[in-house]
């Protein structure tokens, strides 16, 4: 049946063209629709970066207002979805809730599940974005056994998230709001990463947006992808609590003992540095200085990083800190619980997932994703 290219992990496979995100791993460059992530973090908001990623241009004030009001119209969770919360124990990981709820949107918004009607696709985009913020915040509320609250006045996604997580009495510090906004921007898109490829692959079967995105959430959860931010902090905690010398921990990593890896290090595409990590490290310094915090985990992370960057095992494999290495330290400093790190990654990545699903849907050349195998079993029995 023809020629098959063996490419484990799709390291060299390109299933389609895309005009959303420019990524140059050698140069450490990441741009959404041509704008650098540094410029977007400095001059724009998460909402603007989302609009840019989805529609290809930064919004005018009017377009932004229209976008926000479209999304806000769907920010309240359908009442019946509260029953889904009740069906799960409070102890479950919030990613389970977010995934199940996103999948359930196909049931509660069946009128926007067409993949070919542009008006429905537009509404589905607003539903997904509007609901996701609520899902993420309420998954946290559930985990602490608290009731659900919506913000009493209009606010940014970052401020809304904080208010919905911590309650309307929570006073949002503009610097903390800016940090969340920046982290969300840094996560908006990353071309054909594992979760985005999952969204595209599911979407290629003409599955609706919600079904496709919920698959992306599942793919994101794994510790080699979006789950790495939680895994990094757990690794640092483990080192701290067991009083392990960071250098000794690195030796274990190098011996590949129990298959452990230095979480937050390495990347398939970045072989010099991850530009997101560079921005986050600066944010980390800023936040720590402002809050006057001393996190013992930060000191461990710094020691691990310094030692790894000097070590032949890591340098010869071109393993550098990635986006997840310092993001957890920043989240900890602003009191975001560890289990919420990956949900925040999902919230940030959502516009990217949707942009990819839409791009693929409007590509007349798109075909169902269907890789081939090299069969190694019995041929006949
Ligand atoms: N610690 C120790 N060794 C590593 C690590 C690491 N973090 N990452 C890769 N290696 C080694 C790996 O063992 C292999 O060694 P060898 O050649 O001796 O077999 C070599 O480096 C190449 O690794 P690979 O698994 O072929 O690399 P990959 O491109 O398939 O994996 C990765 C990329 C990000 C999954 C991997 O670097 C990793 O597991 N990192 C830790 C998890 C992590 O931080 N993930 C977040 C990625 S950034 C967020 C996102 O966008 O998803």
Ligand 1 contacts CB of residue 322 (under 6 A): yes
Give CA separation, 142 vs 98, 138, 165, 309, in Å. 12, 6, 10, 41
Query: Residue 255 CB: number of other CB atoms within 10 A?
Result: 10
- In this prediction the ipTM stands at 0.98
**Catalytic residue IDs:** 267, 324
DSSP 3-state assignment of 57?
coil
pLDDT digits (tens, 9 = 90+) for 248-297: 999 999 999 999 999 999 999 999 899 999 999 999 989 888 887 789 99
Tell me which residue has its CA closest to atom 17 in ligand 1.
Answer: 317
How does the average pLDDT of the chain come out, rounded? 96
pLDDT digits (tens, 9 = 90+) for 45-80: 999 999 999 999 999 999 999 999 999 999 999 999
pLDDT digits (tens, 9 = 90+) for 206-256: 999 999 999 999 999 999 999 999 999 999 999 999 999 999 999 999 999
**280 in Cβ contact with 252 (< 8 Å):** no
- Work out the pLDDT band at 3, boundaries 50, 70, 90: confident
Within 8 A by CB and 6+ apart from 364, the residues are none
Q: Two tokens at 44?
A: 């724009």
pLDDT on residue 294:
84
Give CA separation, 286 vs 42, 59, 178, 180, in Å. 14, 29, 11, 13
pLDDT on residue 106:
97
Tell me which residue has its CA closest to atom 14 in ligand 1.
Answer: 317
The bridge status of strand 35-36 relative to strand 21-24 is unpaired
Q: Of 104, 68, 121, nearest to 360 (Cα)?
A: 121
pLDDT on residue 1:
54
pLDDT on residue 122:
98
134 CA → ligand 1 middle, Å: 33
Q: Of 200, 267, 202, 198, nearest to 228 (Cα)?
A: 267
The C-alpha R_g of the chain, in whole angstroms, comes to: 21
pLDDT digits (tens, 9 = 90+) for 299-337: 999 999 999 999 999 999 999 999 999 999 999 999 999
224 CA → ligand 1 middle, Å: 8
Q: Two tokens at 212?
A: 């496709």
275 CA → ligand 1 middle, Å: 17
Q: Is the pLDDT of residue 2 over 60?
A: yes
pLDDT digits (tens, 9 = 90+) for 340-381: 999 999 999 999 999 999 999 999 999 999 999 999 999 999
Give the global pTM.
Answer: 0.97
């Amino acid at each position: 049946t023809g020629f098959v290219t063996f490419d484990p992990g799709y390291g060299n496979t390109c299933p389609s063209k895309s005009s959303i995100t420019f990524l140059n791993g050698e140069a450490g460059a990441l741009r959404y629709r041509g704008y650098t992530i540094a410029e977007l973090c400095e001059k724009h908001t998460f909402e603007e970066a989302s609009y840019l990623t989805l529609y290809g241009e930064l919004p005018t004030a009017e377009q932004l207002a229209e976008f926000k009001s479209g999304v806000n119209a769907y920010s309240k969770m359908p009442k019946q979805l509260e029953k889904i919360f009740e069906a799960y124990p409070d102890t479950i990981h919030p990613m389970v809730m977010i995934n199940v709820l996103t999948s359930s949107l196909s049931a509660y918004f069946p009128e926007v599940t067409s993949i070919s009607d542009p008006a429905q696709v537009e509404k589905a985009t607003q539903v997904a974005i509007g609901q996701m913020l609520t899902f993420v915040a309420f998954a946290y509320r559930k985990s602490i056994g608290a009731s659900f609250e919506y913000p009493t006045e209009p606010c940014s996604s970052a401020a809304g998230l904080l208010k919905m997580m911590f309650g309307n009495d929570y006073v949002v510090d503009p610097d903390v709001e800016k940090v969340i906004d920046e982290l969300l921007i840094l996560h908006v898109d990353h071309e054909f990463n594992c979760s985005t490829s999952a969204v595209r692959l599911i979407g290629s079967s003409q599955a609706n947006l919600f079904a496709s995105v919920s698959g992306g959430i599942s793919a994101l959860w794994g510790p080699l992808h979006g789950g790495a931010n939680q895994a990094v902090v757990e690794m640092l905690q483990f080192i701290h609590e067991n009083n392990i010398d960071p250098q000794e921990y690195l030796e274990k990593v190098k011996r590949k003992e129990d298959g452990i890896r230095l979480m937050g290090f390495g990347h398939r595409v970045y072989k010099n540095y991850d530009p997101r990590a560079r921005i986050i490290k600066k944010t980390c310094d800023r936040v720590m200085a402002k809050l006057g915090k001393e996190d013992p985990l930060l000191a461990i992370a710094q020691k691990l990083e310094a030692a790894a960057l000097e070590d032949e095992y890591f340098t010869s494999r071109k393993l550098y800190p990635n986006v997840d290495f310092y993001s957890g330290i920043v989240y900890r400093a602003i009191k975001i619980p560890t289990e919420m790190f990956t949900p925040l990654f999902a919230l940030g990545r959502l516009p990217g997932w949707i942009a990819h699903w839409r791009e693929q849907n409007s590509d007349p050349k798109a075909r169902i994703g269907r890789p081939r195998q090299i069969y190694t079993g019995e041929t006949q029995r």
